[in-house]
Amino acid sequence: MGYRRESEPSPFRTGVVHAGMSLAVFGGLSAALGLGIHVVADPTAASPSQTLALFETEEPAEGVVRMVRLTDPGEHPGGGLLPGAEDTGSPIEMAYVPPEGETVRVEVTGGQGGPTVGDAIRINGRIVRAGESLSQVRSVPQADGTFKLASATTVAAAPVKAAAKSKAPSDIYARKFSNPEGLPMVGLVIGGLGMNATQTQLAIDDLPANVTLSFALDSKRLDHWIKTARADGHEVLIEVPMEAYDYGRMKMHPDTLLAGADAKANLTRLEAVLARTSGYFGIVNYQGAKFAADKVSVTPVLERLSEKGLAFIDDGSFERTSLESLSRTSGLRYARAAGPIDARQTPADISAELMDLESLALEKGAAFGSGYAFPVTVEAAKVWISQLDEKGLVLAPVSAITNTRPAEVRTGSLDKSGIFNGG
């Protein structure tokens, strides 16, 4: 009788069997644990909760607040249907279920080191407080005590103004302003707009119309943002890149005005910049310390701006130059900012700069500063502006702080420049 040797067990088959057994055991344990939690756990003890339910019903249940459709915008801040909403004629009811047990208080700041906003949160750059509706958040108080709904997307046509004697853009597109009491004037230029849609819309909506806004040349929707800002009452500037002493790792813009370049080259670049859009009352420098120090290069540019009836706003970021005297010689409307207010982006530092601006305005009668549309800058500016009345100061558009206009009727073109080199 021969000897029969049994074959070795397959390692693959053994592994599959063991894996299946493991999955079955752990799957059964997980299912049993989940079933136990579902049966015996108390869902209300998990965490504080707030439940909002929107529904239609014949009679409101107890504790339900009825919010009927508003037909008269005067009935409520931001009243009336929101843009794009359909008029169904049906009432809307809201049920509010308060949290049970312990609640959690969360302290929220204004963002990027901004001031504390108390019992509120910031959503897409807007401050939202407990109990506020969407229409209240988006509504803007008016001088007569009523409210208007701030549009985040729709651009309304700018109001038609009476024909002005001057044809210069620095007069036509400047915001109308009067100061019958002769109070010291302070102003702000908030720039860098158009690059970030959220921050740009926030600056347009949240800052008073007397704040001047300046827009970056590289904004992909430059026309849209200028129209939006002007529809909200702001006067606007465009930022013209000028040569700095040191760019670091930054790349120079192709239309930068250069120190030492011949007049024809710089004027071609200037025309290309001015051709990008319309509706601005002047320009503001973007950098430019080296260019501003070169009288030979600066003079033709200032003369061309004067011919076009534009204003030149100096953001005060570099040491004093001959820009003021050269502007006076060429008849150019010019103003220099006291300096940047947000070189250090903290609420305390910005507040200190704004206080210096107040002192300068009280001493000289008028002063303005420049800054960028950082959330912390916008929030600090809003707080400061709200306190100007009690300090005997008035917020003025920067166009009202420029030097005195010549007596003769100013000329210029309201259209885009005809030269564009594609830079």
Structure tokens at 191: 């720039």
Strand spans (E) along 113-223: 120-123, 126-129, 139-141, 147-149, 185-193, 212-215
Per-residue pLDDT band at 39 (split at 50, 70, 90): confident
Q: How far apart are CA 270 and CA 239, in angstroms?
A: 11
Domain boundaries, the chain: 63-149, 169-400
83: exposed, middle or buried (Cβ count in 10 Å: 0-12, 13-18, 19+): exposed
Please write the tens of the pLDDT for every residue from 328-367.
888 899 999 998 999 999 999 999 999 999 999 999 999 9
Interval 157-189: pLDDT, tens: 445 455 446 788 888 999 999 999 999 999 999
What residues form DSSP beta bridges with 369? 188
pLDDT tens profile 264-282:
999 999 999 999 999 999 9
Residue 154's pLDDT is 38
CB-CB contact of 203 with 378 (8 Å) = yes
In the block, tokens 């050269």 appear at 326
In the CATH scheme, what is the homologous superfamily, with its name and number, of domain 169-400?
Answer: Glycoside hydrolase/deacetylase (3.20.20.370)
Place of tokens 């002005």: 164
Question: Which two tokens mark 175?
Answer: 């915001």
Which amino acid is present at 309?
Answer: G
Count CA atoms closer than 13 A to 234's CA, side-chain side.
Answer: 27
Q: What angle do CA 284, 285, 290 make, to 5 degrees?
A: 160
Average pLDDT on 67-87 reads 44
pLDDT at site 20: 85
β-bridge partners, 261: none
Asked if 281 contacts 166 with a C-beta cutoff of 8 angstroms, the reply is no
The mean pLDDT of 366-371, rounded to a whole number, is 94
User: What pLDDT score does 5 carry?
Assistant: 52
Number of neighbours of residue 44 by Cβ within 10 angstroms? 11
Residue 38 pLDDT greater than 90, yes or no: no
CB atoms closer than 10 angstroms to residue 405: 15
- Rounded distance between C-alpha atoms, residue 128 and residue 133, angstroms: 9
Neighbours of 279 (CB within 10 A): 19
Please state the φ and ψ torsions of residue 197, each to the nearest 5 degrees: -65, -40
In sequence order, the β-bridge partners of residue 311 are 282, 333
* β pairing state of 236-242 and 212-215: parallel
Give the whole-angstrom CA distance, residue 214 versus residue 277. 13
